[in-house]
């Protein structure tokens, strides 16, 4: 019945001329919508590039007065004096590099250990929950690490760990300087330890994923030859995944370099370079967080933007290398 | 080589393996206990202060009791606004990478840059928004805070949107195109629908990430002791108040800082667990 009524010529929607106009209009509308949508997608993609170049341009613009005034000496001067308007970046750069380096020294072995545990040893039922627990460490906001570090971890280190370190290494030539007292609680080492906990999940997550990508056949072949578990990990899994593991570690390093709030709480904010890792210090991000809103003069603000630019360039290089390594791995896996 | 020698060698290899595997157990124990100790400390120090007053009263002056109403509201406003600004841009850019320019030169550059922005120090993004918004406007503002959060949201959403759209099978798109659907409708009605769970997960992860962010807010929204919904004025946020109160010498303020820390951690972890549950359900 319906077929008869709809096909009857009296129905306006089947009037050929009406139909053509309608179609044209509808198609034009669709084509327009199509172009608008494609345009916006492209524009949004370009916006990502605009953000990155905007960061560079604004930081270079803001940092220019400081670089202009201090020149290359800015990179080697330890002074940081808002009163005399004399600024140098070496203390925060040193603090940033040292805290991140120590953090990586601790986080990489532990992170790899956890990744090996999760891929090789863990009972299957526990794999997912334990993996998620480690990943939750990455979800905890950095300010929480800061308040925890200041009120729980630093007093703990001050009371138990640091006195022991000072006493143990008092008569060992190099280490006695490295662990020279008094035990402040807060300082370079404390920041490094908190950073180590924070980057741990990044190292673990990437290493676990690349460890999982090792073909089971390879491992089974090694076991078949009589290899122990450690020998399989050492000679098969790690060589197979080396690039990915290094990429994951660099990703963690990128995080450690730029980490702000946690470090600001526990580093002690002292603009000097000390031989002891128990002493307070400062990092680029902690200096900016502490001083930016209270910067007294244009030169102070400009110097803070200048060290911000230095931090951005350092972490840009580290992250770019990490991505290039991980990309190389993707290409290899895609073949 | 005698049999006895082989036995000795074999045993030492076994021992070495047992030792290193033991260290892996130990490493896992260290990681898990770090999580438990942090959460335990938060509960211990923050739970006692948790009460209805925390959600109904303003931040107090030093030496008196109060709550965290204004920073909670401020955090909610800036997070919602930041996500509202960042999500559409992120989804559109992710759509470009996965649909329009999958193999184009622009895409590979955008993908690379986006991955760097994903891990770039958030404090730098705060400085960027300060120089382009706060300095020209002449004052700190809630809207600048929201924009700095949006800058952090974009790379996360771009990444998850692209990843999820790439998982949508091509035949689905081809079938829609064969029915005469224009490209944009194929993307919106077919690809987005198929990738919906994953994209929502990405947005949830982005919310979790930015709601705990402190560093960029310090130079953009600053902080405020008052209740304010004015986006053109400095605005309190939970992380910024925790920062201020925790470093203060006042016991009441420090206690509130712990309560705030507990609230924010609970919110963030709930969000990220929800996101994981959602993505686990979607992958089945």
Task: List Cα–Cα distances, A124 to A111, B10, B24, in angstroms.
Answer: 19, 28, 16
- List all residues 6 or more positions away from B121 whose beta carbon is below 8 Å from its beta carbon: A257, A258, A259, A260, A285, A311, A312, A315, B215
Q: Decide if B261 and A144 are in contact by the 8 Å CB cutoff.
A: yes
What is the model's pLDDT at position A6? 44
Q: Which residues in chain A (31-70) have CB-CB distances under 8 A to chain B?
A: 31, 33-34, 36-38, 40-49, 51-52, 54-55, 58-59, 61-62
What is the model's pLDDT at position A109? 95
Name every chain B residue with its beta carbon within 8 A of the beta carbon of A316.
116, 120
Q: Decide if A136 and B35 are in contact by the 8 Å CB cutoff.
A: yes
| Cα–Cα dist A130/A115, whole Å | 11
Does B102 score more than 90 pLDDT?
no
Q: Report which of residues B223 and A5 the model is more confident about.
A: B223
Of A109, A321, A317, A315, nearest to A204 by C-alpha is A109
Residue A161 phi/psi, 5-degree rounding, is: -80, -50
Average pLDDT, chain B: 90
Name every chain B residue with its beta carbon within 8 A of the beta carbon of A200.
31, 34
CATH number of A102-293: 1.10.3720.10
What is the model's pLDDT at position A270? 87
pLDDT band at B66 (very low <50, low <70, confident <90, very high): confident
Interface test with A, best of B131, B149, B185, B251 (most A CBs within 10 A): B131
Alpha helices in B96-214 (DSSP H): 105-119, 122-129, 135-137, 142-167, 170-178, 183-185, 192-194, 196-211
For A47, the token pair is 């916006």
Shortest distance, CA B79 to any CA of chain A (angstroms):
14
| pLDDT tens per residue across span B83-100 | 999 999 999 999 999 999
Q: Decide if A58 and B45 are in contact by the 8 Å CB cutoff.
A: no
- Which of B28, B128, B257 is facing A55, going by the closest CB pair? B128
Interface test with A, best of B34, B96, B212, B217 (most A CBs within 10 A): B34
Q: What angle do CA B111, B115, B121 make, to 5 degrees?
A: 145
Q: Could you tell me the pTM of the whole model? A: 0.90
Contact assessment for residue B79 and residue B149, using Cβ atoms and an 8 Å cutoff: yes
Q: How far is CA A35 from the centre of its chain?
A: 37
DSSP for A129-173 reads HHHHHHHHHHHS-HHHHHHHIIIIIHHHIIIIIHHHHHHHTTTSH
B167/A contact by beta carbon, under 8 A: no
pLDDT band at B283 (very low <50, low <70, confident <90, very high): low
Shortest distance, CA B53 to any CA of chain A (angstroms):
22
Q: Decide if A52 and B119 are in contact by the 8 Å CB cutoff.
A: no
**DSSP annotation of B59:** P
Does B187 score more than 90 pLDDT?
yes
For residues B236-260, average pLDDT: 91
ipTM value of the model? 0.90
Q: Could you tell me how many CB contacts below 8 A there are between chain A and chain B?
A: 268
B259/A contact by beta carbon, under 8 A: no
Residue of chain A with shortest Cα separation from B207: A139
Which of the residue ranges B8-12, B31-35, B121-125 would you say has the lowest mean pLDDT? B8-12
Q: Which residues in chain A (112-171) have CB-CB distances under 8 A to chain B?
A: 112-114, 116-118, 120-122, 130, 132-137, 139-148, 150-152
Interface test with B, best of A45, A203, A312 (most B CBs within 10 A): A45
Q: Report the percentage of chain B scoring pLDDT > 90.
A: 66
Alpha helices in A267-297 (DSSP H): 284-291
Residue of chain B with shortest Cα separation from A111: B27
Q: Which residues of chain A have pLDDT under 50?
A: 1-9, 335
- Which of B95, B110, B276 is facing A132, going by the closest CB pair? B276
Q: Which residues in chain B (50-79) have CB-CB distances under 8 A to chain A?
A: none
Q: Report the percentage of chain B scoring pLDDT > 70.
A: 97
Name every chain B residue with its beta carbon within 8 A of the beta carbon of A58.
127-128, 131-132
What is the model's pLDDT at position A335? 40
Q: Decide if B24 and A204 are in contact by the 8 Å CB cutoff.
A: no
DSSP for A173-228 reads HHHHHHT-S---SSSHHHHHHHHHHHHHHHHHHHHHHHHHTS-HHHHHHHHHTT--
Residue of chain B with shortest Cα separation from A37: B184
A321/B contact by beta carbon, under 8 A: no
Residue A182 phi/psi, 5-degree rounding, is: -75, 165
Name every chain A residue with its beta carbon within 8 A of the beta carbon of B117.
48, 51-52
B194/A contact by beta carbon, under 8 A: no
Name every chain A residue with its beta carbon within 8 A of the beta carbon of B122.
258, 260
B130/A contact by beta carbon, under 8 A: yes
Residue B169 phi/psi, 5-degree rounding, is: -65, 140
Interface test with B, best of A62, A106, A139, A196 (most B CBs within 10 A): A139
């Amino acid at each position: 019945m319906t077929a008869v009524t709809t096909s009857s010529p009296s129905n306006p929607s089947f009037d050929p001329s009406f139909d053509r106009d309608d179609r044209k209009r509808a198609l034009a509308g669709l084509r327009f919508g199509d172009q608008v949508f494609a345009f916006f997608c492209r524009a949004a993609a370009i916006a990502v590039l605009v953000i990155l170049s905007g960061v560079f341009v604004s930081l270079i613009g803001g940092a220019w007065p400081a670089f202009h005034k201090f020149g290359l000496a800015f990179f080697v001067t330890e002074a940081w004096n808002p009163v005399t308007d004399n600024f140098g970046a070496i203390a925060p750069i040193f603090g940033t590099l040292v805290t991140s380096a120590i953090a990586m020294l601790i986080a990489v072995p532990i992170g790899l250990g956890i990744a090996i545990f999760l891929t090789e040893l863990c009972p299957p039922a526990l794999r997912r929950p334990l993996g998620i627990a480690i990943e939750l460490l990455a979800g905890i906001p950095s300010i929480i690490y800061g308040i925890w570090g200041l009120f729980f971890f630093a007093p703990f280190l001050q009371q138990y760990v640091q006195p022991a370190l000072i006493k143990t290494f008092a008569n060992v030539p190099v280490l006695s300087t490295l662990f020279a007292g008094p035990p402040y609680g807060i300082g370079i080492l404390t920041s490094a330890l908190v950073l180590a906990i924070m980057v741990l999940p990044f190292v673990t997550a990437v290493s676990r994923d690349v460890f999982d990508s090792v073909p089971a056949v390879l491992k089974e072949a090694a076991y078949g030859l009589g290899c122990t578990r450690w020998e399989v990990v050492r000679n098969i899994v790690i060589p197979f995944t080396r690039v990915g593991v290094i990429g994951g570690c660099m990703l963690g390093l990128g995080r450690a370099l730029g980490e702000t709030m946690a470090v600001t709480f526990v580093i002690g904010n002292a603009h000097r370079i000390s031989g002891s890792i128990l002493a307070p210090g400062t990092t680029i991000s902690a200096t900016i967080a502490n001083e930016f809103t209270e910067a007294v003069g244009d030169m102070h603000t400009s110097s803070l933007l200048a060290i911000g630019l230095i931090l951005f360039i350092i972490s840009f290089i580290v992250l770019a290398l990490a991505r290039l390594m991980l990309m190389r791995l993707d290409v290899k896996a895609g073949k | 080589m005698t049999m006895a020698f082989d036995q000795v060698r074999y045993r030492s290899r076994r021992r070495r393996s047992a030792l290193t595997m033991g260290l892996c157990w130990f490493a896992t124990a260290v990681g898990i206990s770090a999580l438990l100790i942090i959460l335990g400390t938060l509960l211990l120090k923050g739970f006692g202060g948790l009460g209805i007053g925390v959600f109904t009263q303003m931040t107090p002056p030093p030496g008196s009791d109060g709550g965290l109403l204004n920073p909670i509201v401020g955090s909610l406003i800036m997070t919602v606004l930041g996500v509202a600004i960042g999500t559409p841009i992120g989804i559109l850019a992710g759509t470009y990478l996965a649909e329009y320019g999958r193999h184009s030169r622009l895409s590979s550059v955008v993908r690379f840059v986006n991955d760097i922005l994903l891990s770039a120090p958030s404090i730098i993004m705060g400085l960027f928004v300060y120089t382009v918004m706060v300095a020209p406007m002449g004052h700190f503002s809630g809207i600048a805070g929201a924009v700095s959060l949006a800058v952090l949201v974009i790379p996360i959403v771009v990444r998850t949107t692209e990843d999820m759209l790439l998982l949508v099978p091509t035949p689905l798109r081809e079938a829609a195109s064969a029915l005469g659907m224009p490209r944009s409708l194929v993307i919106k009605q077919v690809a987005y629908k198929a990738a919906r769970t994953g994209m929502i997960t990405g947005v949830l992860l982005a919310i979790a990430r930015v709601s705990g962010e402190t560093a960029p807010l310090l130079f953009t929204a600053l902080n405020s002791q008052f209740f304010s919904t004015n986006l053109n004025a400095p605005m309190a946020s939970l992380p910024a108040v925790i920062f201020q109160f925790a470093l203060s010498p006042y016991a009441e303020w420090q206690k509130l800082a712990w309560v705030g820390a507990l609230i924010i951690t609970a919110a963030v972890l709930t969000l990220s667990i929800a996101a994981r549950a959602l993505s686990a359900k979607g992958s089945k």
